[in-house]
Structure 1
């Protein structure tokens, strides 16, 4: 065997980079054990992509490996490791670290990992931050009793050491900072600008609590992060939220923000939306969730943002507003804005009462060629407007992903057979791969019509009328189907479901996932039948099947018996 020293450094780097691209963390780790020279390359690639591993994200039961990963990053921030692991990290997910702390301190079986993570013998004890009212690190007896730790303060302290160390090493070695993505549940308002100033390679920021985004944070990005382009905020509640977010956006470099995503509850309004116009030429992805009535009435100020490729608007459930009663011409202004986004490929409206009125003109625009369209929770309109909107849907022949659901998130909110233009338009969308009608009422005849017209479907979800074995025969003709969710009440027989499974293609439909969510309890399968299906899907198709029962007589009888006892 050729000694590792004879292998050119460039080849070792290429091999490790290829393994990193494939997220092959176990092989990268084994490479790090070959020699010190190979280790320096393998470990840099390993830590540069660690956020993609199931361990880093807490998606595995291997809590020990999760704790080891974070401990190595933390110890490297105080120079106590052979390699400066924290400087290799390109994405720092502080929220994942808080989840680890929660797993360690709320589960008694993880007590040994608490003492592993925080240990006086390796100088990690300095990171411990007790909850308010607890003056010092808990004793062993207190630890057993799940003594308190301030998860948030502990995380912030570790993050502060890590970001400081990253910048120090970069300055000392005259190398570039690698960390480009920063995520946290809550980074204090006075701390965030300092962290940002240490990270000149920062391109994206993801925060659970957006109230820390102020003019100071915006200025720090302006001064230190020339490539910053993405912001995601889960919630933003404060009396000054609209002013603060507007100030943050205005302090960024003009036309640099490419992605702005606001996921949940917030208090933004017209000022924030107006400030987004400062990035009208650069903004490609705009997702505005849970908008208040006041914000919904200000959507027309976004008219300059015409470079969008994806747009999502959600009206907060507790503040739904009928925009057509707001002012004359307002809906036309919003519709004209959507039409003017000639590069728009994805459009989603959720809980927007007047969504059909907005899209009926926009979908007919020859320059609008959508790949993704989602309309959920929209209100009813008069017959002419509704028919016009559904007829316009058929014009979007490039659609690959369509989700439709009526008001109140129930199938009765959108009854397919009561809207013939809708059914006709769906059948014209021959490029459709994903069709989600979970929140619509679909008859068996409708479903057969869609299946016959849309042979390229890979994902199908539907609710509505009772479904029997006939629909399985129809679904069997979808040769590319790899995800099926039956939300309507079903009365499938064991023989028909087995035949359907046996006809699935183990090659083209490998990994198929089927969820039957409301199989009538009177048609419950036996243990042997269920086991056969589960094993066949797992072993032959490398997929899965889950069957949930509606009104299971066995469970009902058990509950009745328990109550009588």
Structure 2
């Protein structure tokens, strides 16, 4: 007996596949039946900015690893499948703006990632047949600087493919002018181009740009008049562009926006914003939920307290300030900034890295009874300077995520104080101790872990760990990921014995040993451990020797 599912039920199923980012199932649905096709493809193209063929996912990671092949010929052969998919994705979007596809794929896009398209054009694999298949005559004529017209037809120009920036802007313009559905966009374009695009993006909510200079031609006014829902801005860098300054441009832009509409403001890399820029953030004080700034001077930092209590501020990230003399004025500024942070009662996530004297700042903030953080990250401090900070850390018993990175100390008193502080944070779900715990012994771990019953993820270094250290992690019933960066010597029997004692709460467990001091754990033994973890807990195992010298970047990427 057969029956037909109601259309709305089919749509619910396809939307669930979209939520799970199950690209393959969505594609199979699209080609299996005409009644599935349109909605399946609509969901797929809504996810085009997250697809494995463009920005991430297992397929992309495998593709990246294959690109280290030793010969050009083998590399090219292995690159083509992923690059070809990537190119076809964008080609179908572009052709749809020319009404040359089965469905209007452009109309399904919600986040337009033109940075990704620019990456495709620059990719070494985007050559030969892949490039020729992308730039077919109709598309090449469309992006060409000059072309011949005959009647209502565009004839193929003899010109070669134009430069990448021109192609990206031409295609970006075509998509923006064709669709009204875009909620978010990432791009690297000139100010006049961005201002023109904004006028055609009535639903725009978020914008990511490479340079704040792109906002210099009254982009704030454009957003105010044409994008009533705009609230999220990310900028990679903002430098002076003489005769204009980043300070003046930022002040103008933030003041042009409708007051109290910006909810997210982030500068990722080097910037030259000054006190006036900081003060202008105050025009969005009642709406701003996340503020992330970098490269501030002490004069700019001194302006932060002028923002007064930010009622909505939930996330604050401050990094890599311009060095300043640590004199009386410096510490007066730090104290005022600490008072300002304490006035932000909604603050839940605080991240600092080489901002001011961070451990001194936090020693004042964390002890305040009105601050209840769930996430704290501190990088670039020294254990010997952290006593007051570690004492205050114990006050933040609401913490669920703690990430510390700094210079370790051989003095036992400092290590014991940090262990005592962490032992009082009984709600922790994630704990990263990078470098700062290099002098931890097994005894330190034994003293700490029984008080962390909810811990799901742990990254820890140490003086030296062996099989005996593994048993100290068995009192963590919910642990999902354990990364040991200490110098270590584990045996296969010790690791397998540890695995055998893990419980159902550890399902999906990943064990990573990154700094083993010898190669006594053979490849065969490693495979046995991997198979055992996979079968018993659906887990995984990674192993690296100390002489492989895993970089900080590698370790960070693995656990971000």
TM-score range, shorter chain: 0.7 to 0.9
Name the structure 2 match of 1:206.
208
**Corresponding position of 1:221:** 223
Instruction: State the Cα distance separating 1:375 from its structure 2 match.
Output: 1.5
Query: Matched residue of 2:192: which SS?
Result: coil
Pair 1:437-2:442 in alignment:
no
The alignment partner of 1:474 has SS state of helix
* Cα displacement (A) at 1:128: 5.6
Sort the Cα spacing of 1:510 and 1:63 in 2 relative to 1 into closer, same or farther, 3 A: farther
Task: Determine whether 1:516 maps to 2:513.
Answer: yes
Q: Establish whether residue 250 from structure 1 lines up as the match of residue 268 from structure 2.
A: no
Residue 232 of structure 2 corresponds to 230
TM-score, structure 1 as length reference: 0.84
Q: Distance in 2 between matches of 1:411 and 1:211?
A: 41
Task: Return the alpha-carbon distance in structure 1 between the equivalents of residues 130 and 19 of structure 2.
Answer: 31
Q: Deviations over 1:202-260 (max 9, x none)?
A: 00001223321225111110011111110111222224112112211111110001011
Partner of 2:300: helix, strand, or coil? Answer: helix
Counterpart check, 1:274 vs 2:274: no
Of residues 128, 132, 138, the one that matches 1:115 is: 132
SS of the residue aligned with 2:461?
strand
- Are 1:118 and 1:127, in contact at CA under 8 Å, matched by a contact in 2? no
Aligned-partner Cα distance in 1 for 2:482–2:256:
47
Contact between 1:207 and 1:232, CA under 8 Å: does it hold in 2? yes
Q: Deviations over 1:357-406 (max 9, x none)?
A: 22223222222111001121136787xxx544322211111101111223
Report the Cα offset of residue 44 of structure 1. 2.0
Match of 1:96 in 2: 116
Match of 1:411 in 2: 408
Give deviations 1:510-552, integer Å, cap 9, x for gaps.
332222221103x532221122223333454333222221247
Q: CA deviation at 1:113?
A: 1.4
Which one is further off, 241-250 or 222-231? 241-250
- Contact 2:490 2:521 survives alignment (8 Å): no
Find the counterpart in structure 2 of residue 18 from structure 1: 16
From 163, 168, 171, the equivalent of 1:150 is 163
Unaligned runs of 5+ in 2: 64-81, 147-156, 550-560
Q: 1:17 to 1:288 in 2, by over 3 A?
A: same
CA contact (8 A) 2:315 2:350 kept: yes
3-state SS of the aligned residue for 1:32?
helix
Kindly state the Cα deviation for residue 136 of structure 1 after the two structures are TM-superposed: 6.2
Question: Equivalent residues in 2 for 1:149-548 (5 A)?
Answer: 150-166=163-179, 177-184=180-187, 186-239=188-241, 240-316=245-321, 319-321=322-324, 325-326=328-329, 329-378=332-381, 386-406=386-406, 410-412=407-409, 417-418=413-414, 420-441=416-437, 442-505=440-503, 507-521=504-518, 523-548=519-544
Determine helix, strand or coil for the equivalent of 1:516: strand
The CA distance in 1 between the partners of 2:108 and 2:358, in whole Å, is 46
Change (3 A) 1:463 1:164: same
The two structures, once aligned, show a CA RMSD in angstroms of 2.7
Q: Distance in 2 between matches of 1:7 and 1:374?
A: 50
- Distance in 2 (CA, whole Å) between partners of 1:250 and 1:49 is 34
CA distance change for structure 1 residues 508 and 155 in 2, over 3 Å: closer, same or farther?
farther
2:100 is equivalent to residue 84 of structure 1: no
Distance 1:514 1:247 in 2: 51
Task: Report the secondary structure of 1:190's partner residue.
Answer: helix
Q: Secondary structure at the match of 2:208?
A: strand
Alpha-carbon distance change, 155 to 466 in structure 1, aligned in 2, over 3 angstroms: same
3-state SS of 2:18 partner: helix
Aligned to 2:77: none
SS of residue in 2 equivalent to 1:496? helix
Is the 8 Å Cα contact of residues 487 and 518 (structure 1) preserved in structure 2? yes
Measured after TM superposition, the shift of residue 454 of structure 1 is 1.2
CA offset digits 1:155-201 (Å, max 9, x no partner): 222111110111xxxxxxxxxx22101012x1111100111111110
Is the 2:349–2:374 Cα contact (8 Å) retained in structure 1?
Answer: yes
8 Å CA contact 2:334–2:356 kept in 1: the answer is no
Judge conservation of contact 2:304–2:340 (CA < 8 Å) in 1: no
Q: 1:38 to 1:404 in 2, by over 3 A?
A: closer
The CA distance in 2 between the partners of 1:362 and 1:78, in whole Å, is 57
Q: Is 1:68 matched with 2:68?
A: no
Say if 1:471 and 1:73 are closer, same or farther in 2 by CA, change over 3 A.
same
The C-alpha deviation readout for 1:277-324, integer Å capped at 9, x for no partner, is 1100000011113334443343333334342111111124xx333556
CA distance in 2, matches of 1:150, 1:313: 38
Whether the 8 Å CA contact 1:489–1:519 is kept in 2: the answer is yes
Structure 1: unaligned runs, 5 residues or longer: 139-147, 167-176, 554-565
